[in-house]
C-alpha cells in the first residue's frame, strides 16, 4: 500500500543526500524554499562514506577534497570554523601536480560534512525511490517502503546512469535530443578493501600512500589520519583497471589480491578485511555544464556527472542547480 508521509508535500524534492543534494537543499532552504531530501542509504553522504569495522573507523569512499572555487570556499571556511572538517595534508608548493592545495577531511570521517549539512534539513534515509510520475503539474515520488512524496520541483542527484533509469519510470520525454548524450556519460567502477592490521602500518606520518601498481593505487591509514583511535584500520583502493577486470570475482579473491599488493608497503599484517564494490567512483566524461534542467517539467539533474567529477565538482553542481531553480521560479 502506498501512503503519503505526513508533511511530505514540499516545494522541492531532492533525490540523494550526497554533497550535491545536501548543498542544493541548503541553498534552497536558505532562500525560503520548503525542501525534502530522500536517500536510499541508511546513512548520509553518499560516496563521502565512513564505516565502523572491528573497532576501527574507516573512510571507504572519497578520502579528502580540495577547494579552488570561491563559493565552495565559503562553505569550507564555515565547516573549518565549526570543527566539522580539518586539513589532512598538503603537498609542497614544489609538487607541480598538487600545487600546494590543502586536502581536507571530515573531523571524524568524511560523513561529518553531510551530517552537519543535514542537521537543519528534512532528510529521510532508507527511502529508495522506485518511481517518479508527474500528476497535475506536480512530482509524485514513490519509495520502496511504500511512501509517497509530492513536490512542485524535482532535483535528482543520484549518479547519472541511475538518475536516468529512475526518470525512465516517469514515461516522460524529459531530455529530448539530449538523452543520448546524457546516457553516454560513464563512470569508473571502484573496489575498496578495508583492512584491520595487527600493529602500526608504518605508512608515512600523514597516513597515505599513492601507488602506481596494476592492482592498488591508494592506501590510507585511518589511525594516522586521525579517525580510527583504537585500531589500525587501512583503506585500500584498487585501480579502475583492476576493478573493471575483477568486478565479478568473489570478495575472498579480490580482497586477497589487494592485501597482497600492499604487503610490501606495510610493517604489520592484515588481521581481517572486508570488501566493497563502488559502481560509480569518478565520472570519466562529465557533462559539460554544471547541471541539466528541463524548466517546463520543473526537473533538474545535478551531481558529480555535471560538476567535474569530484567532491568540489559535485558541490558546485548542487549549488548551481539551486541557483538556477530559484531564478527560474522567480521568472514564472
Ligand X SMILES: Cc1cc2nc3c(=O)[nH]c(=O)nc-3n(C[C@H](O)[C@H](O)[C@H](O)COP(=O)(O)OP(=O)(O)OC[C@H]3O[C@@H](n4cnc5c(N)ncnc54)[C@H](O)[C@@H]3O)c2cc1C
Q: For residues 98 and 268, which CB has a smaller minimum distance to ligand X in the complex?
A: 98
Minimal distance, residue 236 CB to ligand X, in Å: 11
The CB-of-36 to ligand X minimum distance in angstroms stands at 12
- Rounded to whole angstroms, the Cα distance separating 314 from 306 reads 7
How many residues sit close enough to ligand X to count as binding (CB under 6 A)? 37
What is the nearest approach in angstroms of ligand X to the Cβ of residue 291?
Answer: 11
- 106 interacts with ligand X by CB under 6 A: no
Q: Taking the complex as a whole, how short is the minimal distance between the CB of residue 49 and ligand X, in angstroms?
A: 8
Each as own residue / partner, the long-range contacts of residues 176-182 (CB below 8 Å, 24 or more positions apart, any chain) are: 178/292, 181/287, 182/287, 182/292, 182/301
Nearest distance from C-beta of residue 3 to ligand X, angstroms: 17
Q: What is the DSSP letter of 111?
A: H
Mark out the alpha helices in the chain (DSSP H runs). Answer: 19-30, 70-81, 111-118, 160-168, 179-183, 222-225, 240-245, 251-262, 304-307, 311-331
Q: Which three cell numbers stand for residue 186?
A: 560513464
Q: Of residues 12, 58, 62, 197, which one binds ligand X by CB under 6 A?
A: 62
Cα distance from N-terminal residue to C-terminal residue, the chain = 36
Cβ pair 214, 239 in contact under 8 A = yes
Site for ligand X in 27-46 (CB under 6 A): 38-41, 46
Q: Which stretch binds ligand X (CB under 6 A): 25-33, 159-167, 266-274, 291-299?
A: 159-167
Nearer to ligand X, 21 or 56 (CB): 21
For residue 168, how many other CB atoms are within 10 A of its CB? 13
Q: Is 235 in the site for ligand X (CB under 6 A)?
A: no
Q: Cβ closer to ligand X: 114 or 270?
A: 114
- The full DSSP string for 159-189 is -HHHHHHHHHTTT---SGGGHHHHHT--B--
Q: According to the binding rule CB under 6 A, does residue 286 interact with ligand X?
A: no
Contacts of 64 (CB under 8 A, 6+ apart): 88, 89, 103, 104, 105, 110
User: What is the C-alpha to C-alpha distance for residues 172 and 145, in angstroms, rounded to an integer?
Assistant: 24
Decide if residue 316 touches ligand X (CB under 6 A).
Answer: no
Contact between 129 and ligand X by CB under 6 A: the answer reads: yes
Yes or no: say if 317 and 304 are a contact pair by the CB < 8 Å rule.
Answer: yes
Check residue 300 for interaction with ligand X (CB under 6 A).
no
Of 38 and 293, the one with the shorter C-beta distance to ligand X is 38
Whole-angstrom distance, CA of residue 247 vs CA of residue 309: 21
To the nearest whole angstrom, how small is the minimum distance from the Cβ of residue 244 to ligand X? Answer: 14
Interface with ligand X, residue 8, by CB under 6 A: no
Residues 173-212 that bind ligand X (CB under 6 A): 190, 192
Binding ligand X (rule: CB under 6 A), the pick from 27, 53, 56, 64 is 64
Indicate which single residue of 50, 63, 170, 232 sits in contact with ligand X (rule: CB under 6 A): 63
Q: Which residues bind to ligand X, rule: CB under 6 A?
A: 15-21, 38-41, 46-48, 61-65, 128-129, 157-159, 162, 166, 190, 192, 237, 278, 281-282, 303-304, 310-311, 314
Amino acid at each position: 500500500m502506498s501512503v503519503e508521509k505526513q508533511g511530505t508535500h514540499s516545494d522541492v524534492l531532492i533525490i540523494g543526500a550526497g554533497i550535491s543534494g545536501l548543498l542544493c537543499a541548503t541553498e534552497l532552504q536558505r532562500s525560503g524554499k520548503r525542501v525534502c531530501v530522500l536517500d536510499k542509504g541508511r546513512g548520509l553522504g553518499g560516496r563521502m562514506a565512513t564505516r565502523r569495522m572491528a573497532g576501527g573507523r574507516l573512510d571507504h569512499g572519497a578520502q579528502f577534497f580540495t577547494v579552488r572555487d570561491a563559493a565552495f570556499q565559503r562553505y569550507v571556511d564555515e565547516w573549518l570554523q565549526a570543527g566539522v572538517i580539518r586539513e589532512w595534508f598538503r603537498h609542497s608548493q614544489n609538487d607541480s601536480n598538487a600545487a600546494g592545495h590543502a586536502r581536507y577531511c571530515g573531523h571524524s570521517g568524511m560523513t561529518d560534512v553531510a551530517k552537519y549539512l543535514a542537521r537543519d534539513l528534512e532528510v529521510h534515509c532508507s527511502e529508495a525511490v522506485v518511481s517518479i510520475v508527474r500528476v497535475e503539474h506536480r512530482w509524485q515520488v514513490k519509495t520502496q517502503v511504500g511512501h509517497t512524496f509530492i513536490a512542485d520541483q524535482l532535483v535528482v542527484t543520484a549518479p547519472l546512469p541511475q538518475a536516468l533509469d529512475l526518470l525512465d519510470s516517469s514515461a516522460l520525454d524529459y531530455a529530448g535530443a539530449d538523452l543520448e548524450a546524457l546516457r553516454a556519460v560513464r563512470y569508473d567502477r571502484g573496489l575498496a578493501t578495508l583492512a584491520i592490521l595487527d600493529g602500526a602500518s608504518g605508512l608515512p606520518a600523514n597516513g597515505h600512500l599513492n601507488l602506481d601498481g596494476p592492482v592498488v593505487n591508494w592506501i590510507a591509514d585511518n589511525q594516522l589520519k586521525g579517525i580510527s583511535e583504537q585500531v589500525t584500520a587501512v583503506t585500500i583502493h584498487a585501480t579502475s583497471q583492476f576493478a573493471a577486470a575483477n568486478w565479478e570475482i568473489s570478495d575472498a579473491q579480490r580482497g586477497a589480491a589487494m592485501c597482497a599488493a600492499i604487503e610490501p608497503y606495510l610493517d604489520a599484517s592484515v588481521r581481517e578485511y572486508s570488501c566493497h564494490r563502488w559502481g560509480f567512483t569518478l565520472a570519466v566524461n562529465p557533462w559539460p555544464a554544471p547541471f541539466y534542467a528541463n524548466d517546463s517539467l520543473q526537473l533538474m539533474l545535478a551531481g558529480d556527472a555535471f560538476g567535474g567529477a569530484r567532491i568540489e565538482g559535485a558541490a558546485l553542481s548542487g549549488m548551481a542547480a539551486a541557483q538556477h531553480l530559484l531564478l527560474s521560479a522567480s521568472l514564472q
